[in-house]
Amino acid sequence: KNEVEQSPQNLTAQEGEFITINCSYSVGISALHWLQQHPGGGIVSLFMLSSGKKKHGRLIATINIQEKHSSLHITASHPRDSAVYICAVRSGNYGGSQGNLIFGKGTKLSVKP
């Protein structure tokens, strides 16, 4: 079983729709990251969070530590939001290699005009 699971794998939406991408993890974590990978391949960090909720523009990320679940929401989606969204967790144990990131497989979002 993968330690980080994302759903859905693929998502097609119409411009303006509200979008939710989910991430569940099975390990204790110190932080969770949401990343965006553009069609050209570059990866940028959107959020890093360890509790609660963060908002940046039309993007909102939430995390529930007890349920080991995070969501990424996009309000008023736009074709330029089309990308792969990747969830990654940093294990809460700092022995060995546990400080490294564990990645989900990504959710491919396509927003149609």
Partner 1 sequence: NAGVTQTPKFQVLKTGQSMTLQCAQDMNHEYMSWYRQDPGMGLRLIHYSVGAGITDQGEVPNGYNVSRSTTEDFPLRLLSAAPSQTSVYFCASSYSWGLGEQFFGPGTRLTVL
Q: Binding residues for partner 1, per CB under 8 A?
A: 2, 4, 30, 33, 35, 41-45, 48, 86, 88, 90, 94, 97, 99-106
Place of tokens 């989910």: 22
Question: Of 13 and 90, which CB lies nearer to partner 1 in the complex structure?
Answer: 90
CA distance linking residue 13 with residue 31, whole number of Å: 29
Radius of gyration of the chain (CA): 14
Q: What is the DSSP letter of 78?
A: -
Q: How far is the CB of 94 from partner 1 (least distance, A)?
A: 6
Question: Of 77 and 89, which CB lies nearer to partner 1 in the complex structure?
Answer: 89
Question: Of 14 and 100, which CB lies nearer to partner 1 in the complex structure?
Answer: 100
Q: How far is the CB of 51 from partner 1 (least distance, A)?
A: 16
Place of tokens 């990320």: 61
Q: How far is the CB of 97 from partner 1 (least distance, A)?
A: 7
Q: Is the peptide bond before 39 cis (omega within 30 degrees of 0)?
A: no
